Structure 1
Amino acid sequence: MHALKDLATLTSLAEACGKVHQSYSDFVMLCALLASRGSEIAGLQVGDVDWDQRIVTIRRQTFPGSGGLVTKQTKGREIRHVPILQHLEPVLQRLAVGRAPEERLLTGPRGGVLTTATVRDATKWDALVSQLGMPNLTRHGLRHTGATWLADAGIPLHVLQGILGHKSLETTRGYLHPDTRHLADAAAQANAFLSGQDAKGTERPAQGSRSPSLSR
C-alpha cells in the first residue's frame, strides 16, 4: 500500500483536491492526520472533537449500503481515540467551532455525506494522483500514510495499535512503511565520497612528474 513521503506532499494533494471543493481537501487531511478510514471520517460528528483532551474519538462509520447510507460501529467495533496533530488543528477548528455536537463534522458540497466514492469521482482521483506523481495512492492509502508517520515519529507499536483500532499487533505492523530516506541519504553521501576518490585517482597521472618508463 502506497504512503505519502511527507507533509508537503500531503498538502499538495489536499490543495489539488480543494480546487474542486474545500470538503475534498478536508477529507484528505482528516484521513491522513487521523490515520482513519474514509467511512470513519464520514461518520464523525462535531462532538467527537475534544479540544480539552486534544483528541478525536472515532465512534462510528458511515458508508453506502444496498438500501442507502449505513451508519454503524467501526470496523473493529471499538471506540478509539486519536490525538489532534498540530497541522490538523486549522481544519478541525474551521469544521467544528461554533457548531452543534450532533452535526456531521464533514459534509460534501451540497451538505450530504462525503463518501470515499464521492471523493474519487468528484476529484477524478486516479488521474489527479498520477499527475501529482503518486499513481499508486488510494484513498485508503491516506490512512496508511498517517500510520507510517506516527510509527516513524517513534510512537510505540502498542499505542499505534490503539490509535488504528487493530485487534493484533501483526495487523498494525502490516500498515507500516518504515522511512528509508536516511538510507538514500547515506548512499548519496557514500557515492560522493567514492566519486571524489575516483576523481583524485584520475588526476594522479597528470599530476606526477613523469611516468615510470620515462624515469629510467
Structure 2
Amino acid sequence: MIDRTIDQWETQHSASTIKNTIAPLVRVLDEAVRDDLLPSNPARNRSRRSLGKSALNLKENDQSPRVHALKDLATLTALADRCGEVHQSYSDFVMLCALLAARGSEISGLQVGDIDWDQRIVTIRRQTYPGAGGLVTKQTKGRDIRRVPILQALTPVLERLTADREPEDRLLTGPRGGVLTTASVRDATKWDQLVTDLELASLTRHGLRHTGATWLADAGIPLHVLQGILGHKSIETSRGYLHPDTRHLTDAAARANAFLDGQENPTREPPAKTRRTAAPGR
C-alpha cells in the first residue's frame, strides 16, 4: 500500500515534497522495528528509492539483512557485557537473540522446559509481547514450532538460566522478576546511546536475529536447514542471508585473461603442412 501511494505521489508532487511527507511515517515505523513489532521499516525502504540523479548512488545490497549483522562473536560479547552492566538479564537477552537467531518476542516467550539438554536443542513455540490490553502470549509469527541448536557460546548462559528451575518457569525475567521485552531492554539499557558508544549505531534489537542468521549462513549450513531454524515460509527470505558468491566471476576473469594473454604471446606452433599422397592409378 505504501508503494502504491507513493507511486501516485510521484506523478503529482516533487521529490522534496514526497520526502517530507514520508519522514514522519518513517520515524513511527522505526519505533515499531525497535520494539520488534516489524522486521523492517517498509516506509524507510521505499523512502530510499532513488529519484533522478540519485540513482547513481544506489547500492545493490543495501536491503540485504546481512548489513545489520555484527561482525563477530567478540563484538557480540562486548555488547552483551555493556548491557550486563545495567543488569545480567539484559546481557542474556542479547546473547539469546543472537545465538538462537530469534526474535525478541520469542525470547520473551521461552520457558525452561523448552531447553532440551539431551539433544542440545531449544524449541521455540511461542512469543510474548506488549499488546493493547497488556502482555500477549501466542504462537510464533509463522505459527510453526521450530528447533534451534544450542551453540557452545550460549551454553553457559542457558546452564545458568535453567539450573534448579521448573520446566514451566519463564526462562528469562527482568530485574524485578517480570517479563523482559525488547522495549524494556531498549529503555533500561538506553540502547540507542549504548550502541552508538560502541560504534554500532545502526544496530536494533532485531539486528541480533540478523546477526545469528548471517553467522549460521556463513558457517555453511544448508539453506533448507537455515530456513527451518529461522522459521521462514519462503526459502528466498532465508537466501538473503547467504554471502554473495562471486567466485564464478573471478574464475571467468582468470579464463578470459589467459585467453587474451595467449593472443598477445602465442605459444602454439602453427600446424605442420601435411604431404599430399597421389591417388592410385595416376
- Displacement of 1:179 in angstroms is 8.4
Q: Give the match for residue 63 of structure 1.
A: 129
Larger Rg computed on CA atoms: 2
Deviation at 1:4, TM superposition (A): 0.1
Q: 1:177 and 1:106 mapped to 2: Cα distance?
A: 31
Match for residue 203 of structure 2 among 118, 125, 137: 137
Q: 1:22 to 1:179 in 2, by over 3 A?
A: farther
Q: Which residue of 2 aligns with 1:19?
A: 85
One-letter identity of the residue aligned with 1:104: R
- What SS does the aligned partner of 2:147 have? strand
1:209 match: none
CA distance in 1, matches of 2:203, 2:137: 26
Gaps of 5+ in 1: 184-216
1:155 is matched with which residue: 221, 229, 236? 221
Q: Of the two structures, which has the highest relative contact order with CA contacts closer than 8 Å and spacing of 6 or more?
A: 1
Name the Cα RMSD after superposition: 1.4
Alignment of 1:183-202 (within 5 A): none
Q: Which residue matches 1:85?
A: 151
1:94 is aligned to 2:139? no
Counterpart check, 1:29 vs 2:88: no
1:178-197 deviation digits (Å, cap 9, x = unpaired): 389xx9xxxxxxxxxxxxxx
The letter of the residue matching 2:116 is: D
| In 2: Cα distance, 1:15 partner to 1:80 partner | 28
Amino acid at match of 1:88: L
**How far 1:173 moved relative to its partner?**
2.1
Aligned-pair CA distance for 1:171: 1.3
Residues in 2 aligned to 1:153 and 1:44: alpha-carbon distance in whole angstroms? 26
Number of equivalenced pairs: 180
**Alignment partners' CA distance in 1, 2:143 and 2:108:** 16
TM-score with structure 1 setting the length: 0.81
Q: Is the 8 A contact 1:47 1:100 kept in 2?
A: yes
Give the equivalent residue in structure 2 for 1:178: 243
Q: Quote the Cα distance in structure 2 between the aligned partners of 1:86 and 1:57.
A: 17
- For normalisation by structure 2, the TM-score amounts to 0.62
- Secondary structure of the corresponding residue to residue 137 of structure 2: strand
8 Å Cα contact 1:41-1:61 kept in structure 2: yes
Shift of 1:177: 6.2
Instruction: Output the CA distance in 2 between the equivalents of 1:136 and 1:25.
Output: 19
Task: Give secondary structure in 2 for the equivalent of 1:82.
Answer: strand
Aligned residues of 1:152 and 1:179 also touching (Cα < 8 A):
no
8 Å Cα contact 1:3-1:177 kept in structure 2 = no
Structure 2 unmatched ranges of 5 or more = 1-64, 248-282
**Counterpart in 1 of 2:193?**
127
In the alignment, the residues of structure 2 paired with residue 22 and residue 36 of structure 1 have an alpha-carbon distance, to the nearest angstrom, of 19
Structure 2 residue matching 1:62: 3-state secondary structure: strand
Deviation, structure 1 residue 98: 1.2
1:179 and 1:93 mapped to 2: Cα distance?
36
Give the share of equivalent positions with the same residue, in percent: 80
1:179 and 1:56 mapped to 2: Cα distance? 29
CA offsets per residue over residues 108-159 of structure 1, 9 Å max, x none? 0000000000000000001100100111100000000000000000001100
Task: Select 1:44's aligned residue among 110, 116, 138.
Answer: 110
| Letter matched to residue 96 of structure 2 | L
User: Given that residues 40 and 58 in structure 1 are in contact (C-alpha distance below 8 angstroms), is that contact kept between their aligned partners in structure 2?
Assistant: yes
